[in-house]
Chains A and B, each alone.
Chain A
Amino acid sequence: MIKHYIKIAWRSIWNAKSYTLINILGLAAGLASFILVLSYLNYELSYDTWSPELEKVYRVSMKQKEDLFEATPAPLASFLAENYPKVEVATSLQGAGDYEVPISAGNETLYHNGFTSSDSLFLKVFPYKLEQGDRNIALNNPNSAIISTELAKKLFGNKDPMGRTVTIFNMLEAVITGVMKMPDTPSHRKVHLVMRDPNESQNFFWNNYSYETYIKLKVPVTKEILEGDINRIFKERRLKVENWQDEDLASGNHPVLYVDAVPDIQNFPTYGNGSINTVTVLFILAMLLLIIGAINFSNLSVAKSLGKTKEIGVRKVLGSGNWNLFWQFMWEAILQCSISIVIAIGLVITILPYVNNSFGLGLQIHSNLEFIFQIGLCLIVVILISGFFPSFLLSRFKLLKILSGGTFSGNKGLWLRNLLVIFQFTVTCFFIISISVIDKQLNYLQTKDKGFSEEQLISLRSSQDTREKNFEKVRQQLLEIPGVKTVSKTTNVPGDILADSSTVNFRLNGTDYRMNSVKVSSDYFETLDSPIISGRNFRDSGMDQHTKTAIINETAAKIFGIQEPIGETIYYSNCLEKPIKIVGIVRDFNVLGYETRVQPAVFTINNEACMYQSGGAILARLEAEDPMSTIQKIDQLWKELEPGSPIRYSFLDENFQRKFASYYRIQKVIGFFGMIAIVISLMGLFALTTFTLKNRIKEIGIRKVLGAEVPNIVNLVSKDFLLLVLVAVLISIPIGWYAMNKWLENFAYQTTLNWWIFLASGGLVLFIAFLTVSLKTTQAAMKNPVKSLKTE
């Protein structure tokens, strides 16, 4: 019987090639998008699942009121290991993460991410496998280091890395004592070189908040129990020892520890958003796409069934039960869906390298059981969505109705077919609204005034010496290069991917205000071309150079809330002996991007008020003419200034662009999904119109004989479909409005959601739907009615 079903299904598919093509391609496009996003979702969910041991590993962080500190005090790890019996082992480490640091081997220097310094217990907590070296002793010696196979290959080629020396930051030397195999799945922290912490002996200061703490428990416990336990111990044995006031301890105004299980950090962190949110949204959108592909199938099958009534009737007369017919039509769905999935997998394999490249991902199509199971499940669901309704409907055609003239009109399933068309176009219109709003927002951000001029402005990464001790000399040398207009430095480079958003307390008139503290050089604002709107700029001499004056931005001025801030005295709250006079207000300019509002900032020169800040970069404004030749000259100079460290520069405008990278990716994906949604829906509408016309050909002939003209006929057929599309548009508008409002909440600066976006999107959908329907209808309406009536 199954052989018979498959044979019939195959012939039915073959006999209606264009219909089949629409069905299969529509479904394949939906399936391909779905499989892609499914592998993206799998990829995200695979974070830190490379060893079951990681389920017992937690990162311990701190918060005090609203402030979160991932960096914890140096001795916290050993404190927890000693005081909390459930801890098997704990490690404290400092990691550069994505930040690239100079790593040298012999004469070779390269910048690489994943540098980590840790105590000797790193490998006891993180179960990295060593390809070479003994994991029990690899980090025992003070200058030992373990290296990833990937980095070892880059540094040493095919030579054995064991026992070789690497230099980090051009000053820390370490000997390779182990080679780590990179885990199979991604990890929340990049680790390529783990060096035994050179400053371990200083790690007993509780006020040294620069270490990350990880603990490994003997057995996993719930997050609530763990947090309860360690906070109780921390309060009793640490905070009370530190003489925290009882009222602070009672009111909760004290540091609190919180934990994240390592497998949850990437996607389900305790605070902040994991990247799973984006993936989940994409997954839902891809599912919608798949559903509209399947709906096409379902609708077209019902429409196609109009020509199958005779066959169904005959089969029933010859003894076929409803169940036989149901399976016959189901097999048609099974066959088509299976072809679709093969095409979809082919498509995915073809475009995967492009997706990986533009998303910076390492997605792979795994032939593992889990993935095959997921795809199989997806296939079954698609077959059910696309095949069940038509099969059910067709198998229940009333025999006598068919035999008494075959006038089955499909009215029975009409309401559901209409609902499905509405759903399809709701999704399509939603995509068009989303594309319009995302475009408008990104365009708005692109053109929004950043508060400074970003053209031809470069940031130069440098060693601390170049930036601090030798800065004045370096600055002069840079200025001597023709094409360099101004040079300055800052600890917080606008648009930098690692821009500093931390705040410290400043005191004004006895009240503390949290603000961003930025160390700059005198001509910073001149370099940025950011105007001083009140007071004066920094000068090269006098109090300005000794952290005795400050320039604040407009937001800071507003937060201080006094009429005339110029001349007021502020303090770092932990440094009341060093008064700082506000001498100017600079116009707000954007540092962090557009997701957060401009932070209140206090700009000072040098580190002479208790607080030491370094980092950031040197900024140089170049002449607009031939900046690349200027950069070549800077490169020449750099070889003298920092021999062995290749120059690393970036244009600030490009850095800002990079900040939007994730949004551009979303724009691309939504654009791609939207395009597929439109194509699928229109293909479906086109085929549906064709079948409807086939069914109404006699009616159209009679109407023409009675005097109807082409526009009357087009109007007659189009109106039913356009009404459905209009309903879809009306449904999609509030949904689109809500979803886009939610999305815009990501940004501190938002474009306005004008009514015309919705009107235009809806209008566009209606227009293309009308074009699709009228194209086919006009063709039918222009046919000679005699022919159609004769056929009947």
Chain B
Amino acid sequence: MIKITDLEKYYKTEEVQTIALNKLSFEVKEGEFAAIMGPSGCGKSTLLNILGMLDDPDGGSYLFNGIEVAGYNERQRAKLRKHNIGFVFQSFNLIDELSVFENVELPLIYTGVKPAERKERVHEVLEKMQIMHRRKHFPQQLSGGQQQRVAVARAVVNNPKIILADEPTGNLDSSNGNEVMDLLTELNEAGTTIIMVTHSEHDAKFSHRIIRMLDGQKVTENVLV
């Protein structure tokens, strides 16, 4: 599903060049649930941005479903992204002006799905996430756990091939956190590939494999299942 080889990313200021990713290589297969761990500044978020096609690498190869996307421009990346990748953020990133229903509907609008079908799919996913009764509420009227459920619903509504989750439980208490992790596990079991960045050993245990990073490089890789 995803194969990166010798991936490099630098950040340059006028005087200093910082290496964020240093010839990083690994593979994530379809249907896999991988966790990426490491201390702050080790390059986890940079990696996730590149995997999510929000950013492009400075060197190396990135094969997505067998297609080399390392040289893609913004427009090509955006097109590939909106049809294949769902995002879950630590801070939920719901749009305050939109209701639960409308937040979840948004990716379908951008992929040009017809209104009737949109309604059906949004309802389906809201039912699945057990927040149908909250569909008319606005994000600020929900608890953190509920907000993250909406965010997950929004991430999966387009049936993405892969979900990238950036510390999905970081802003939640343990019980809400567990609920979200259970959700992700269910999705994975239903066939969705998941790559999750986390600081939490507890959360990482939900994955099949933990990739540990330091200074932009892979240090260890533990297979859990």
A interface with B by C-beta (< 8 Å) = 1, 4, 7-8, 11-12, 15, 310-311, 313-321, 324, 399-400, 403-404
The distance in angstroms between the C-alpha atoms of A318 and B54, with both chains bound, is: 11
Flag if B107 contacts A399 (CB, 8 Å).
no
Flag if B97 contacts A8 (CB, 8 Å).
yes
| Shortest beta-carbon contacts, A-B, top 6 | A319-B82, A319-B110, A11-B97, A314-B93, A318-B107, A311-B95
Q: What's the minimum C-beta distance from A712 to chain B, rounded to whole angstroms?
A: 30
Q: Which residue of B lies closest to A318 (CB)?
A: B107
Q: Using an 8 Å CB-CB cutoff, how does the interface string of B98-134 with A read, 1 for contact, 0 for none?
A: 1000100011011100000000000000000000000
Instruction: Name 11 A/B residue pairs within 8 A (Cβ), A-sorted.
Output: A4-B109, A8-B97, A8-B98, A311-B96, A311-B97, A316-B78, A317-B87, A318-B106, A318-B107, A399-B54, A400-B49
Flag if B110 contacts A400 (CB, 8 Å).
no
Flag if B54 contacts A319 (CB, 8 Å).
no
Q: Using an 8 Å CB-CB cutoff, how does the interface string of B34-57 with A read, 1 for contact, 0 for none?
A: 000000000001000100101100
Residues on the B chain within 8 Å of A318, using CB:
82, 87, 106-107, 110, 154
Residues on the A chain within 8 Å of B98, using CB:
8, 11
Q: Which residue of A lies closest to B138 (CB)?
A: A11
Select which of B75, B102, B110, B154 is within 8 A of A320 by beta carbon: B110
The distance in angstroms between the C-alpha atoms of A318 and B75, with both chains bound, is: 13
B81 lies within 8 A of chain A by Cβ = yes
Residues on the B chain within 8 Å of A321, using CB:
75, 78, 110
Residues on the A chain within 8 Å of B106, using CB:
315, 318, 320
Q: What's the minimum C-beta distance from A395 to chain B, rounded to whole angstroms?
A: 13
Residues on the B chain within 8 Å of A8, using CB:
97-98
Known: A317-B54, A317-B87, A399-B54. A310 touches B93 (CB 8 A): yes
Size band of the B side of the interface? Answer: 20 to 34
The distance in angstroms between the C-alpha atoms of A33 and B97, with both chains bound, is: 34
The distance in angstroms between the C-alpha atoms of A580 and B107, with both chains bound, is: 100
The distance in angstroms between the C-alpha atoms of A12 and B106, with both chains bound, is: 16
**New A-B pairs, 18, CB < 8 Å, besides A11-B98, A311-B95, A316-B78:** A1-B109, A4-B109, A8-B97, A11-B97, A12-B97, A313-B93, A314-B93, A314-B94, A317-B52, A317-B87, A318-B87, A318-B107, A319-B78, A319-B82, A319-B110, A321-B75, A399-B54, A403-B49
Q: Which residue of A lies closest to B55 (CB)?
A: A400
The distance in angstroms between the C-alpha atoms of A544 and B6, with both chains bound, is: 118
Q: What's the minimum C-beta distance from A436 to chain B, rounded to whole angstroms?
A: 46
Q: Which residue of A lies closest to B96 (CB)?
A: A311
Chain B positions 134-150 with a Cβ under 8 Å from a chain A Cβ? none
The distance in angstroms between the C-alpha atoms of A8 and B96, with both chains bound, is: 11
Q: Which residue of B lies closest to A313 (CB)?
A: B93
Residues on the B chain within 8 Å of A320, using CB:
106, 110
The distance in angstroms between the C-alpha atoms of A256 and B66, with both chains bound, is: 91
Flag if B95 contacts A15 (CB, 8 Å).
no
Q: What's the minimum C-beta distance from A58 to chain B, rounded to whole angstroms?
A: 63
Residues on the A chain within 8 Å of B55, using CB:
400
Residues on the A chain within 8 Å of B45, using CB:
404
Select which of A15, A313, A403, A404 is within 8 A of B97 by beta carbon: A15
B interface with A by C-beta (< 8 Å) = 45, 49, 52, 54-55, 75, 78, 81-82, 87, 93-98, 102, 106-107, 109-111, 154
The distance in angstroms between the C-alpha atoms of A310 and B110, with both chains bound, is: 17
Known: A1-B109, A314-B95, A319-B111. A400 touches B54 (CB 8 A): yes
The distance in angstroms between the C-alpha atoms of A316 and B55, with both chains bound, is: 12
Residues on the B chain within 8 Å of A324, using CB:
110
The distance in angstroms between the C-alpha atoms of A319 and B108, with both chains bound, is: 9
Residues on the A chain within 8 Å of B107, using CB:
318-319
Residues on the B chain within 8 Å of A314, using CB:
93-95
Residues on the B chain within 8 Å of A1, using CB:
109
The distance in angstroms between the C-alpha atoms of A318 and B87, with both chains bound, is: 8
Q: What's the minimum C-beta distance from A596 to chain B, rounded to whole angstroms?
A: 65
Known: A8-B98, A400-B54, A400-B55. A319 touches B81 (CB 8 A): yes
Residues on the A chain within 8 Å of B97, using CB:
8, 11-12, 15, 311
Flag if A403 contacts B82 (CB, 8 Å).
no
Residues on the B chain within 8 Å of A11, using CB:
97-98
The distance in angstroms between the C-alpha atoms of A320 and B98, with both chains bound, is: 15
Q: What's the minimum C-beta distance from B71 to chain A, rounded to whole angstroms?
A: 18
The distance in angstroms between the C-alpha atoms of A399 and B154, with both chains bound, is: 19
Q: What's the minimum C-beta distance from A400 to chain B, rounded to whole angstroms?
A: 5
Q: Which residue of A lies closest to B93 (CB)?
A: A314
The distance in angstroms between the C-alpha atoms of A15 and B139, with both chains bound, is: 14
Flag if A315 contacts B49 (CB, 8 Å).
no
Residues on the B chain within 8 Å of A403, using CB:
49, 54
Residues on the A chain within 8 Å of B96, using CB:
311
The distance in angstroms between the C-alpha atoms of A152 and B53, with both chains bound, is: 83
Which of A1, A4, A12 is packed against the most chain B CB atoms within 10 Å?
A4
The distance in angstroms between the C-alpha atoms of A321 and B107, with both chains bound, is: 11
The distance in angstroms between the C-alpha atoms of A317 and B166, with both chains bound, is: 13
Residues on the A chain within 8 Å of B78, using CB:
316, 319, 321
The distance in angstroms between the C-alpha atoms of A12 and B97, with both chains bound, is: 7
Residues on the A chain within 8 Å of B94, using CB:
314
Residues on the B chain within 8 Å of A311, using CB:
95-97
The distance in angstroms between the C-alpha atoms of A253 and B10, with both chains bound, is: 87
The distance in angstroms between the C-alpha atoms of A423 and B84, with both chains bound, is: 48
Residues on the B chain within 8 Å of A313, using CB:
93
Residues on the A chain within 8 Å of B102, using CB:
7
The distance in angstroms between the C-alpha atoms of A399 and B52, with both chains bound, is: 12
Select which of A315, A399, A404 is within 8 A of B95 by beta carbon: A315
The distance in angstroms between the C-alpha atoms of A496 and B183, with both chains bound, is: 92
Residues on the A chain within 8 Å of B87, using CB:
317-318
The distance in angstroms between the C-alpha atoms of A357 and B107, with both chains bound, is: 58
The distance in angstroms between the C-alpha atoms of A4 and B103, with both chains bound, is: 12
Residues on the B chain within 8 Å of A319, using CB:
78, 81-82, 107, 110-111
Which of B95, B102, B106 is packed against the most chain A CB atoms within 10 Å?
B95
Q: What's the minimum C-beta distance from A791 to chain B, rounded to whole angstroms?
A: 15
Residues on the B chain within 8 Å of A316, using CB:
78
The distance in angstroms between the C-alpha atoms of A12 and B98, with both chains bound, is: 10
Residues on the A chain within 8 Å of B75, using CB:
321
The distance in angstroms between the C-alpha atoms of A400 and B154, with both chains bound, is: 20
Which of A316, A319, A403 is packed against the most chain B CB atoms within 10 Å?
A319
The distance in angstroms between the C-alpha atoms of A317 and B84, with both chains bound, is: 12
